[in-house]
Structure 1
Amino acid sequence: MENASFPTSLYFVMYQNQGHNRYIFFTVGLTLYCAIISFNVIIPLVILRVKVLHQPMYLLISCLSFNSLYGTAGLFPRLLTDFLSDVHTISPPACYIQTFVVHTYASYEFTILTLMAYDRYVAICKPLQYHSIMTAKVLVSLITAALLFPVFSIGFAVFMSARHMLCGNELTKLYCSGWSINRLSCEDTTANNIIGLFVLVITVFLPMGFILYSYIRILIICQRRSSEFKAKAFHTCLPHIVTFVNYSTTVFCEIVTSRYEPGELPEVVTVVLSLEFLIIPPVLNPLIYGFKCPDIRREINCLFKKWR
């Protein structure tokens, strides 16, 4: 403990030896970020401007797009800057802020998908009670809870991590995360690891369990109904299921990758698996809902026709 200190800056070691490839990485990253911004602005814009789309399902789709903009804003500006910079350092406070943004984004995605699963469950399993259950007041309360819960749970975990003294300053990822910072601590991180696992369970696995339960209940109800009812239920649930499977897969890759020690996996594998959950869902989600939801697709076409 005598050699422990608070580094004035942390260093991203994975940006070393990029050479001229950094311009390629910057171009690809900038193109992706522009696409993410464009896709995730169009969806809420269409939903908010068309009154007929002011329904819980569509408003929750807008929340997914807003979350994609929030999460990628915590990654891409810093990532693109580091690609072009010769100095790849970040101050500890800024690193903890980025950690908070990235982790809350990850949790928000699951809490919003949980609300979407609940909305579909009520719509399919309790259709006559849907409008009395999913009122505007209830929807606002659910969204507020879905936003505040990750703020407090993840905020507490980040705060506990920030209290530890650091002995190193080399981060083995392209962005700051809880596990990469904890590896630099010169104190016992057992308590932090326990808190981190607990937060992981309540912000990721608990919502996942509820989502799976909701769709199992929907499947059971559909088995008792007509083929027409099944087809309609499948059509309305398919975009949500695809989004859920896509996001769960990318988060699983990130969780698995973060448990490996630096150097145990090829660098390119580490980079790809750790960035998937911050890139693939923000790109695919608006495309899925834009193409699979006829109402949204129709309004997008109308919007483009007006712009021509």
Structure 2
Amino acid sequence: MMHNVSHVSLFFLSGLSETMNYRVVIFSLTLLCYCCIVLVNVALIVTIILDKNMHEPMYILLATFCMNGLYGPTGFYPKILWDLLSPVHVISYSGCLVQALVIHSFVCSDMSILAVMAYDRYVSICRPLVYHSIMSTPRLLMLVCFSWLTPFCISAMNIILASRLKLCSPYIDRLICVNWAIVKLACFPADTIVNNIVAYITMIIYVCHGFCIFCSYVYVIKTCVHSLENRAKFMQTCVPHLTSLLIFLMTVVLDIMHIRFGSTDLPQTLDNFIAIEFLVIPPIINPLIYGFKLTKIRNRILGCITFKIKLLR
């Protein structure tokens, strides 16, 4: 048994132990998945940056959303690809804390950005006459900073509290390092009281984000009921946002429910998928949803593809 955190210099990740017979297939699929995530998110970000017609709050927030969609997976995929090529699946103590910080802040930032996007849609549809004064450049910058810096600070606080714990084991039974998995290894449960309190406060903060999103859409739907123009605007700009929100909530809540109440008898492959689906599904699906649904982005991307095909001919 290890009784001091300084003795734990490496963590052993056991999530891949039963799947190494298929490492080539899994490596190929994982690499393909990561390439797809990078491709679709970078495509949207570059499209929004290069097209001056999209330099407005809704598209800037979408670019922020896609940037976060690159940030989180980058904390996971390079490490898992390396593990698939390695006979021993280890990560340094500091590397584990960094990965936990990246993944924790990625999830929190996604929720914050979705809340800001919901507020933007509320102002656009319910208060169109004052939209540009409310969503001014300084306020937009402030909201973007809020959606990145606040989650990062909250996540950093959780990770710093985890780093002070004395750990009794270097074995993590997951593919990735996450905050609760580190806290679970604490030698003395009494030491984790502060960690648990801060974790519950973090959950309350983001439940409040969800409540704000719900209230925004209650007002949006009430406004759209009586206006054909607003209904068209809702279908064009709000449906992709609601779809992204539902996908995000389903993947995160499923992981949380599995952690709290999941069976220990599940096949490791299924257990691994549940543990990482929030790093697989939303980062790929969200850019595709917006790319196909938002007319400006779709036309711009299709125009670029058509132009390149003509050049090749």
Q: Could you say which TM-score interval applies, normalised by the shorter chain?
A: over 0.9
Secondary structure, aligned partner of 1:90: strand
Question: Are residues 1:199 and 2:202 paired?
Answer: yes
Whether the aligned pair in 2 keeps the contact of 1:79 and 1:174 (CA below 8 Å) is: yes
Cα distance per residue 1:235-275 (max 9 Å; x no partner)? 22111011111111111011112224783544233211111
Q: In the aligned structure 2, how far is the partner of 1:71 from the partner of 1:147?
A: 12
Equivalent residue, structure 2, for 1:218: 220
Secondary structure, aligned partner of 1:238: helix
Q: Cα distance 1:261–1:53, how it changes in 2: closer, same or farther (>3 A)?
A: closer
1:283 is displaced (CA, Å) by 0.4
Q: In the aligned structure 2, how far is the partner of 1:143 from the partner of 1:10?
A: 35
Residue type of the partner of 1:217?
Answer: Y
1:276 is displaced (CA, Å) by 1.0
Equivalent residue, structure 2, for 1:118: 119
Secondary structure, aligned partner of 1:121: helix
Cα distance per residue 1:28-56 (max 9 Å; x no partner)? 00000001100000001011101001010
What count of residue pairs does the alignment treat as equivalent? 306
Whether the aligned pair in 1 keeps the contact of 2:11 and 2:90 (CA below 8 Å) is: yes
Secondary structure, aligned partner of 2:280: helix
Within 5 A, what are the aligned runs for 1:73-112? 73-112=74-113
Residue type of the partner of 1:152?
Answer: C
Unaligned stretches of 5+ residues in structure 1: none
Q: In the aligned structure 1, how far is the partner of 2:87 from the partner of 2:2?
A: 32
Q: In the aligned structure 1, how far is the partner of 2:89 from the partner of 2:2?
A: 28
**Stretch deviating more after TM superposition (119-128 or 269-278):** 269-278
Within 5 A, what are the aligned runs for 1:29-68? 29-68=30-69
Q: In the aligned structure 1, how far is the partner of 2:77 from the partner of 2:71?
A: 11
Q: In the aligned structure 2, how far is the partner of 1:260 from the partner of 1:185?
A: 21
Q: In the aligned structure 2, how far is the partner of 1:226 from the partner of 1:262?
A: 49
Whether the aligned pair in 2 keeps the contact of 1:179 and 1:258 (CA below 8 Å) is: no
Question: Are residues 1:274 and 2:275 paired?
Answer: yes
Residue type of the partner of 2:253?
Answer: F
1:12 is displaced (CA, Å) by 0.6
Q: In the aligned structure 1, how far is the partner of 2:234 from the partner of 2:228?
A: 10
Equivalent residue, structure 2, for 1:162: 163
Cα distance per residue 1:213-243 (max 9 Å; x no partner)? 10011112223x2334323323221110111
Equivalent residue, structure 2, for 1:232: 233
Q: In the aligned structure 2, how far is the partner of 1:292 from the partner of 1:234?
A: 9
Q: In the aligned structure 2, how far is the partner of 1:127 from the partner of 1:261?
A: 46
**Stretch deviating more after TM superposition (264-273 or 43-52):** 264-273
Q: Cα distance 1:168–1:2, how it changes in 2: closer, same or farther (>3 A)?
A: closer
Residue type of the partner of 1:170?
Answer: Y
TM-score by length of 2: 0.93
* CA RMSD between the two structures: 1.6
Secondary structure, aligned partner of 1:191: helix
Residue type of the partner of 2:40?
Answer: F
Whether the aligned pair in 2 keeps the contact of 1:251 and 1:277 (CA below 8 Å) is: yes
Q: Cα distance 1:253–1:135, how it changes in 2: closer, same or farther (>3 A)?
A: same
Equivalent residue, structure 2, for 1:301: 302
1:2 is displaced (CA, Å) by 8.2
Equivalent residue, structure 2, for 1:173: 174
**Stretch deviating more after TM superposition (103-112 or 183-192):** 183-192
Equivalent residue, structure 2, for 1:151: 152
Equivalent residue, structure 2, for 1:257: 258
Unaligned stretches of 5+ residues in structure 2: none
